[in-house]
Structure formats: structure tokens, C-alpha cells
Amino acid sequence: MRTRRRRSRTATQRRRGARANAPAPPIVELDQATLVYPGGHVGIERVSLTVDRGEFVFLVGPTGCGKSTFIKLLIRELEPAAGAIRIAGRDINEMSRDRIPHLRRRIGTVFQDYKLLPDRTVYDNVAYALRVTGGTRAEIRRNVPDILRLVGLAGKINNYPDQLSGGEQQRVSVARAFVNHPPLLLADEPTGNLDPATSIGIMQLLYRINRTGTTVVVVTHDEVMVDKMRRRVIELYEGRVVRDQAAGLYAEDESTTEFGVRVRSELGIGEGHTNGEADGGHEAL
């Protein structure tokens, strides 16, 4: 009997060890995910990609290409019509509704318009994120000053949002998103309302957070910043991934020929036409 129990315990330990040694699944995984809005507008179409733990990723593309849809799908504000979306290996579309708040506690989100509570101080805006996730008073007293020092706002702890600059308000937003130390942080146009110098500071802050191990996905139109940082770039166009490039630029380099082909395609000009055949070229455009 003792031998059987010992063998049973050994087998259980081996299974636990195998699970512990198995590679962790990607923090984000989309498998043929598709979402179509009422009226037929495509949000995303058959998108498949993975984002590994610890990555820093830029999501770029023109307005209406599906970037914001992508963010809303990850926090399950929207649900795909087809395909799967997994966070840390779990299909979030199969979650019950009462588990969605738990999912969102594990994902920090930063928005272009800050979304701060105007009648609360900097301290209380950040503490609020801990309170709603069940943080104790001791945790709040310990963690909030630490995160405000990280984002460079230790001296603004008792200020209200309308007493802060735009860059400072965005730092509060970043602090609130990161105070729980989530494994995934999503930033939707975090520098869209900021001047270039302030934008650099916000991106440096996001990069510092990424260095702690948090995966960071940034939706942006900030071409200069993307080109400076040279991180992974995923480009969307009309709901589809058209480029996924390590250490990429905001826009992929094009030869003159490639540019001409793309422009003719976008304008619906047939391949048989050349500039010389289009009645003067300019009139054809």
C-alpha cells in the first residue's frame, strides 16, 4: 500500500514538473479572428498573430484599419464573429461574463484622452485602480507612492487633473494602468494629444515598464517615435495584417516601382496603363 501511494505521489510530481517546465503560451494570440460591425464595415478580418511575453509591439495603420477594434477585442469589450482570441493561453471568448472584470484587472489600458477622474487627486486616481481590484489599504499606501515615483510624479501626489499638463495627466494614466503590475499593457494612441518632446518621455516610460517584464502593445500614428525605437511593427490595412516586422519602421521602404504599383492599385487604374498611356498622367489621377 505504501509503495502504491509513493508511486502515485511520484507520478503526480512528474506531471506537475512537466507542466512547470512547459513553455508559457503567448500572452496574446489571435487565430483567424474576424469582426464585422453592423452595416458591413470590417473591423478585423481573419487576423492570426501572436505576441510573446515581454515583447514591445507597435500596431500601426491608417484610421479605420482595425487598430482600436484590436484593443477592444483583447479586453473583451467586443467579441469576434469568428476565430479565437487567447490571453495567456485562455480563450477569452469562452469566459463567463462574471470573469471579464478579472481579465481586465490583468490588462493595463492607457487611452489617448487619459480618462482620469476630475474630482480626485493624482493619488486617488491611481489608488482607485487598486481599490476596485480588492487591494488593501496597506497595499495602496505602499504601491501608489512607488508607482508615482516611477512615472516622475512624486511631487504632484495631491494635485487634481486640471492642475496638470497633458503629459503629466498621461503619466497618471500610465501609473494607474501599471499599479497592479499587469502582464499586459495596452496603450491606444498614448501620445496622440502630446507635443513631440512630451511624447518621448511617455514612450521612454512605456519602455521602462516593458523592461520590468510587462508586455506592451502600443497603437500609434507617431511615425517619428516608431522609427526611433525600432521595435516590432504590426501594420493593419482594411482589417488585415499586411506587415509584421521585427525592428521595423512606421512605413516599409518602397522602391519607386512598388510605389507606382500601389498607387495605381488604390486608384483602380489597370496594370496595362502606364503614366505615358494615361492621357498625360496627371489628368488620370
From CA 243, how far away is CA 181, in angstroms rounded? 30
Look at residue 102 and tell me if it is in a domain.
yes
State residue 22's pLDDT score.
72
Beta-bridge partners for 241: 236
Total structural domains in the chain? Answer: 3
pLDDT tens, residue order, the chain (285 aa): 555 555 556 665 666 655 556 788 999 999 999 999 998 889 999 999 999 999 999 999 999 999 999 999 999 999 999 999 999 999 999 999 999 988 988 999 999 899 999 999 999 999 999 998 888 999 999 999 999 999 999 999 999 999 999 999 999 999 999 999 999 999 999 999 999 999 999 999 999 999 999 999 999 999 999 999 999 999 999 999 999 999 999 998 654 455 455 555 655 655 444 443 333 333 333
Kindly tell me the burial class for residue 44, based on how many C-beta atoms sit within 10 Å of its own C-beta (0-12, 13-18, 19 or more).
buried
Q: Are residues 67 and 196 in the same domain?
A: yes
Q: Are residues 175 and 280 in the same domain?
A: no
Look at residue 164 and tell me if it is in a domain.
yes
Q: Are residues 117 and 136 in the same domain?
A: yes
Q: Are residues 197 and 62 in the same domain?
A: yes
Q: Are residues 146 and 282 in the same domain?
A: no
Look at residue 68 and tell me if it is in a domain.
yes
Q: Are residues 96 and 194 in the same domain?
A: yes
What is the average pLDDT score of the chain? Answer: 86
Cα-based angle 252, 256, 257 (whole degrees, multiple of 5): 100
Look at residue 5 and tell me if it is in a domain.
no
Look at residue 247 and tell me if it is in a domain.
yes
From CA 278, how far away is CA 260, in angstroms rounded? 13
Look at residue 197 and tell me if it is in a domain.
yes
Look at residue 189 and tell me if it is in a domain.
yes
Residue of 252, 213, 236 whose CA lies nearest to 49:
236
Q: Are residues 283 and 172 in the same domain?
A: no
pLDDT in tens, 136-156: 999 999 999 999 999 999 999
Which residue range(s) make up the domain with 77? 25-106+183-253
CA atoms within a 13 Å half-sphere pointing along the CA-CB vector of 70? 38
